[in-house]
Amino acid sequence: MAGNFPAMRCASCLLPLASLLAGALAVGGFAPFNLWSLPLLSLAALFGLLSRTATRRAGFLVGFAWGLGFFLTGVSWIYISLSVYGGMSMGLAGLATLVFCSVMALLPALVGALQVPASDAKCGPASATLRLLLGIPLLWGMSEWVRGWIFTGFPWLTLGYSQVPASPLAGYAPVLGVYGVSFIMALIAALLAWGLALHRPPALRVWALVAVLVLGITGQLLRGVVWTTPLGAPTSVALLQGNVPQDMKWQPGKTRATLDSYARLAAASPAQLIVLPETALPLFESKLPDADRARLTSIGRQNGGDLLAGLPTGSLDGAYYNSVISLGSAPSQRYHKTHLVPFGEYIPLKAVWGWVVTVLHIPLSDFARGAPDQRPLAVGGQQVAMNICYEDVFGEEIIRQLPAATVLVNVSNLAWFGDSLAPWQHAQMSQMRALETGRMMLRATNTGLTAIIDPQGRLLASLPPFTGGSLSGSIQGYSGSTPYVRWGNSAVLALWGLLGMGLLLARFKRRL
């Protein structure tokens, strides 16, 4: 028996290593690669590995390894933000990135640990099958939902995003949202892991394949459903991409050049709705010269429309906001960002973390929160559901302004992340928001990816990253509600609740 210990140790090491590689592979399913089948295969590999773990410690390690490979590969741009633009030393930025990715990996690790039954549970073939086909997918879906709100939320790279816009599974998005798509992916991955097991009888493998095909075909049929209808006449738009380097953006000596640059771009891009990026005007609204305000207002009016400009409002002496204001034909309106980024836009628990302000050289790092019940902006002949940067990764918050809004608009400054995967991943999340709501989405960014997205989540037009310019086009407003607009995440939560109760009941019966 003792002679088998080295082989057992080797096998126990190979499982986490295989899981680590599978996690890294899953990133290929997201933009800009868009190989949407890779996350399905990666998840199937993870579930197959988890089904071979006999202890919760082993399950935890396999899940943690998958998460570490996934996040280190997928959000490596955090290092760029901290080191290149945040002023951290390379060593400290690397350590901070590793710690962050390790914390994120704890949720897949918990899935791995919790899927292993307690030592006193009966684990016959039926129990093991139920655990793989329903238990693990249920835990997986819930873990991604928890990641979307715990510690204010980090839903970046939720697996469902990888299916937009080309996968048949994208059809589930208007019904169940991104977490529902993730859950369907987990069900398919579990069926693949179960059906591909070598000891499985051929007849059962066929049934697993049939179930996979049913889920895929249902999603494809849902893609053909028209949930919303056009409303009113199309609106001409111009989305401005200033391409202002982050290390120059807040230098006082560069403010005049930035103001003039955006004014020239706007004047050369006549449209009913002109959109400037987040904090495109790098000064407080109260410091904006009257001549510049009048100039931008005149440009907004020139085609009987409006201009939306991102800039901070309020004052350093009191509360200040990350805002968008409208200038043009309609009375000036404003939107204040509600969902702020911890350590980037505010410092949580200042008594504990206040020192971070001195380490990270981030201007305006103590924004106040806007009200959660802000209404759409009536500009350019549309009702605009405004959101700023990171806010559009929270679908349940975007739908607060629906169904009143006819179009979605996101303004961002992703220069913090350099030439990395971040701008592409962020644009893919905007594509999901368009699909969930049945609305067009406009993205105006400083360095990219500036884009026009249709209600099916497809990129209709975009500007190359790290170039200055204007993206012109025409958009259509929409009315009506998708099921996700009506229910939000409550539909998939209710589904998980029913499945959870069914699993508990099955376990209770086995104990009798």
Q: What is the pLDDT of residues 449-486, one digit of tens each?
A: 999 999 999 999 999 999 999 999 999 999 999 999 99
Mean pLDDT, rounded, for 1-27:
74
Pull the structure tokens for residue 205: 């493998």
Percentage of the chain modeled with pLDDT above 90: 75
pLDDT tens per residue across span 246-272 = 767 778 888 999 999 999 999 999 999
The pLDDT, as a whole number, for residue 55 is 92
- Distances from the Cα of 119 to the Cαs of 55, 124, 139, in angstroms? 8, 13, 19
Least confident of 98-107, 188-197, 246-255: 246-255
The pLDDT, as a whole number, for residue 87 is 77
Task: State whether 104 and 74 are in the same domain.
Answer: yes
Q: How far is 497 from 413, CA to CA, in rounded Å?
A: 38
Pull the structure tokens for residue 358: 């001195």
The pLDDT, as a whole number, for residue 504 is 85
Evaluate if residue 435 carries a pLDDT over 90: yes
Task: State whether 422 and 346 are in the same domain.
Answer: yes
The pLDDT, as a whole number, for residue 333 is 96
Q: Angle 90-104/56-74 helices, nearest 10 degrees?
A: 130
Mean pLDDT, rounded, for 204-220:
93
Mean pLDDT of the chain: 91
Q: How far is 208 from 49, CA to CA, in rounded Å?
A: 18
Mean pLDDT, rounded, for 99-124:
85
Evaluate if residue 7 carries a pLDDT over 60: no
The pLDDT, as a whole number, for residue 9 is 53
Structural domain boundaries, residue 180: 2-226+489-511
Task: State whether 162 and 251 are in the same domain.
Answer: no
Beta bridge mates, 336? 323
Mean pLDDT, rounded, for 412-421:
90
Pull the structure tokens for residue 185: 């992916």
DSSP class of residue 198 equals T
The pLDDT, as a whole number, for residue 345 is 77
Handedness of CA 438, 442, 447, 448 (dihedral sign): positive
Pull the structure tokens for residue 64: 């943690």
Identity of the amino acid at 222: L
Evaluate if residue 363 carries a pLDDT over 80: no
Q: How confident is the model at residue 215 (pLDDT cuts 50, 70, 90)?
A: very high
Q: How far is 169 from 425, CA to CA, in rounded Å?
A: 18
Check which CATH number belongs to the domain holding 421 and give it. Answer: 3.60.110.10
Helices (H), 27-172: 37-50, 56-74, 77-80, 90-104, 106-114, 125-130, 136-147
The pLDDT, as a whole number, for residue 129 is 84
Q: How confident is the model at residue 120 (pLDDT cuts 50, 70, 90)?
A: very low
Number of domains making up the chain: 2
Task: State whether 221 and 251 are in the same domain.
Answer: no
Q: How confident is the model at residue 124 (pLDDT cuts 50, 70, 90)?
A: low
Q: How far is 109 from 89, CA to CA, in rounded Å?
A: 30
The pLDDT, as a whole number, for residue 506 is 80
Task: State whether 12 and 134 are in the same domain.
Answer: yes
User: 402 φ, ψ to 5°?
Assistant: -115, 155
pLDDT tens per residue across span 299-345 = 999 989 999 999 999 987 788 999 999 999 989 999 999 999 887 77
Q: Decide: helix, strand or coil at residue 213.
A: helix
| Catalytic residue positions, numbered | 278, 337, 389
Could you tell me which residues come within 8 angstroms of residue 474 by beta carbon, excluding any fewer than 6 positions away? 234, 235, 236, 237
The pLDDT, as a whole number, for residue 386 is 98
**3-class secondary structure per residue, 136-157:** HHHHHHHHHHHHCCHHHCCCCC
Task: State whether 439 and 472 are in the same domain.
Answer: yes
The pLDDT, as a whole number, for residue 353 is 55
The pLDDT, as a whole number, for residue 211 is 95
The pLDDT, as a whole number, for residue 356 is 57
pTM (two decimals): 0.93
The pLDDT, as a whole number, for residue 18 is 95
Task: State whether 221 and 234 are in the same domain.
Answer: no
The pLDDT, as a whole number, for residue 86 is 74
Identity of the amino acid at 467: T
The pLDDT, as a whole number, for residue 245 is 84
Sheet strand arrangement including 441-445: 377-379, 382-388, 407-412, 441-445, 451-453, 459-462
pLDDT tens per residue across span 342-356 = 877 777 655 555 555
Q: Answer with the residue of higher pLDDT: 75 or 245.
A: 75
Q: Answer with the residue of higher pLDDT: 485 or 128.
A: 485
Highest mean pLDDT among 4-13, 38-47, 113-122, 125-134: 38-47
Task: State whether 222 and 236 are in the same domain.
Answer: no
Q: How far is 310 from 281, CA to CA, in rounded Å?
A: 6
Task: State whether 13 and 124 are in the same domain.
Answer: yes
pLDDT tens per residue across span 143-157 = 999 999 998 999 999
Q: Angle 37-50/56-74 helices, nearest 10 degrees?
A: 160
Task: State whether 66 and 16 are in the same domain.
Answer: yes
Task: State whether 458 and 505 are in the same domain.
Answer: no
Give the helix/strand (H/E) hosting 471: strand 469-479
Task: State whether 284 and 385 are in the same domain.
Answer: yes
